[in-house]
Chain A
Amino acid sequence: MSALLTDRTILWLSAAMYLAGFAAGLIALALRRDTPASRTILNALLAGGLILQISGLYLRGLSVGGCPLGNKFELVQFVVWSAMVLYFVVGTAFRVSLLGLFTAGYAASLAVISLLVPEWDSPARLKLFGDNPWIELHAALAVFSYGVFGLLALTAAMHLLQNWSLKHKRLDGLFWFLPSIVQLDQINFRLLGTGVALLSISLAVGASWWLRDTASADPAKITVTVGVWLAYGIALLLRALGRLVSARLAWTCVALFAAALLSLGPVNQSRHGPPASHLRLP
């Protein structure tokens, strides 16, 4: 591997592809060309960005000897990767108009910010998860669920925009291409369920190890993680009961994701104490 082609360089290239996808989507929208050709260009750029991101994270994984979740930079990159993987699953399954554009903007902004803040990429501890694949699975699932919540925040934002445009009778430009209220509501519900399920499995795996060694994770991290899980779980329950619907559910999802992102700080902080003999949960 050339000295110039480091994992960060590849991740920069990936971010550039996401940015190019966002620009292509914006241009198509400005020209009112939501055509199969414009969607193909956008998806090709995003797919290219995703392949580069996988390559960059793989190289980083090789150098740290495990899943690259050792610092804030890696966490954010992993969250972006998760959202992009989900976009290719959800976007294809639901054929959600404009979701590609929103995902491109989201992925490009988070990826670029994570690359622009060198402090976030502090040297990661080697063998962060020891040789325990269950702890690694717990961490990967937890961060993947954040990716789901990220995509949920995007579809929730689209719901809010569509709701605003319909309520205020502003249906020109971007608004005309947004998916229907019912479609967005169904996607929000499904993503919320998926995210809560993934986070629940992650916490169940983590809890089973924590019960064997209660000193392996600090209380602050447990409080924050369980708090995020509870908040999303309550939102899911209220949505299922029909108590939290439409725009109020969308606002809740956006606010919860902002809180979840902020929670990455304390979660990451808790793992950077002096090396201990215990296994550390992410």
Chain B
Amino acid sequence: MSSGHSHVFMFGASHHTAPLAVREKLALDDARVARFAELFRRAPGVSEFAVLSTCNRVEVYAVANEAGAVAQAQAALCAATGCQPEELAAIGRSRQNAEAISHLFEVASGLDSQIVGETEILGQVKQAYETALERKWTGPVLNRVFQKTFQAAKHIRSSTAIGAGQVSVASVAVDLAGKIHGDLTRTKVLVVGAGDIGLKTAQAFQSRGVRDITVASRTLARAEETAAATGGWATTLARLEEVLPAADIVACSTSAPGFVITRALVAAAMATRRARPLFLIDLALPRDVEPEAASIDNVYLYDLDDLADIAEQNLAQRQAEAAKCRAILADRTAALWPQVAQSLAGRNGTTRSPGD
């Protein structure tokens, strides 16, 4: 890029090139973002910028009319984070003009995410843009680019299957519970095992509106600890026979060497449940639920392998859909870029500092 010509660029590092330890170093909290902005907005030729910082990426999107602006962004990032310039140079990637816009489209649509098709990134991009807008770091070019980015991401979400199917074991389990029980807000969840997996599973159900959670563990104290984290009830494994008939969903993750929930125990529980189905999620190794329990009518049993298989299938489907999404986004970039280029050409020779 020759000096004096306005251009759009992106510079940053993501999970594609940077290991977790480096990404931790590069992560920008509010104070670091402010420090970076303070340095970068003073860089010669920089007229607009926005900073996207998530656990998987730190990226700067900017408009500048100096060829050295990318190096300025790199230097400001190092200064704000304490990262060594040579370290950042090794993992950093930059894109110019249409490629930078195309990259932002893909990031916001979840195509560049570690878990392809995830939706959290769109909220993070929106947050990054809102921060930049509030602080007047953006201008007409980036405002237009980001608005078009949100439209593109929304289109991808609604017109393709990129977000179909869950890709984590806990989310798959929660989705399956929905296929069995429908509305989960009225279901009763029994978490057997108070370890980390049990807690995460309980929290996954809690995030889908489940209010009635009981945690059963070998000791009441341990169960109470996990139950407190989810606002649930605590009980001991000794009372399993008593609490099982009331549960609609049972998630097991104990470290017990044998079966904690036997076929006979499930059969006895089902005899009192009439038409209500029972969903058993066995996340333990070795397994907690006797496999023969699956043969009982209205009982659905999924173990760790079953859930992982579904998650993998969903991920494969998302990856297959990604090619189609990229083609859609390429068309949108091709439609937007001439307008952006015209806008950039109109501002050549003029200068504006972000935040002015």
Contacts and interface: CB of A to CB of B under 8 A. Distances in A.
Interface string B158-200: 1001001100000000001011111000000000000000000
Interface in A133-168: 162, 166-167
B181 A181 contact: yes
B306 interface: yes
A246 B180 contact: no
Given A245-B274, A246-B277, A171 B179 contact: yes
A185 B180 CA distance: 10
B24 interface: no
Interface of B: 158, 161, 164-165, 176, 178-182, 274-277, 294, 297-298, 300, 302, 306, 309-310, 313
Interface stretch (A10-18, A172-180, A252-260, A269-277): A172-180
A214 B306 CA distance: 62
A190 interface: no
Contacts of B313: 172
A180 B158 CA distance: 23
Given A239-B275, A245-B275, 5 more contacts: A35-B158, A167-B294, A180-B180, A242-B275, A247-B298
Given A169-B310, A172-B313, A242-B274, A183 B300 contact: no
Interface residues of A, number: 23
Nearest to B299: A167
Given A167-B294, A176-B165, A246-B297, A185 B275 contact: yes
Chain B CB count within 10 A is highest, among A178, A179, A180, for A180
Nearest to B277: A181
Interface of A: 32, 35, 162, 166-167, 169, 171-172, 176, 178-183, 185, 189, 239, 242, 245-248
Contacts of B277: 181-182, 185, 246
Contacts of B161: 32
Secondary structure type dominating chain A contacts: helix
Contact of B176 (A166, A172, A179, A247): A166
Contacts of A172: 313
A164 B182 CA distance: 17
Contacts of B294: 167
A189 B275 CA distance: 10
Given A242-B274, A248-B297, A183 B182 contact: yes
Nearest to B276: A182
A181 B274 contact: no
A182 B297 contact: no
A31 B172 CA distance: 22
A166 B179 contact: yes
A239 B309 CA distance: 35
Contact of A182 (B164, B182, B302, B309): B182
| Nearest 6 Cβ contacts at the A-B interface | A242-B274, A180-B182, A245-B275, A246-B298, A183-B182, A32-B161
Contact of B309 (A169, A179, A180, A183): A169
Contacts of B310: 169, 171
Contacts of B297: 245-248
5 contacts: A35-B158, A180-B178, A180-B181, A182-B180, A182-B182
Given A167-B294, A182-B277, A32 B164 contact: yes
Contact of B306 (A169, A176, A182, A247): A169
A84 to B, nearest CB: 25
Contacts of A162: 179
A167 B176 CA distance: 11
Nearest to A162: B179
A183 B183 CA distance: 9
Contacts of A180: 178-182
A252 to B, nearest CB: 13
Chain A CB count within 10 A is highest, among B275, B294, B297, for B275
Nearest to A184: B182
Contacts of A181: 179-181, 277, 298
A177 to B, nearest CB: 10
A32 to B, nearest CB: 5
Contacts of B179: 162, 166, 171, 176, 178, 180-181
A166 B180 contact: yes
Chain A CB count within 10 A is highest, among B179, B180, B309, B310, for B179
B158 A246 contact: no
B173 to A, nearest CB: 12
Contacts of A32: 161, 164
A171 B172 CA distance: 11
Contacts of B165: 176
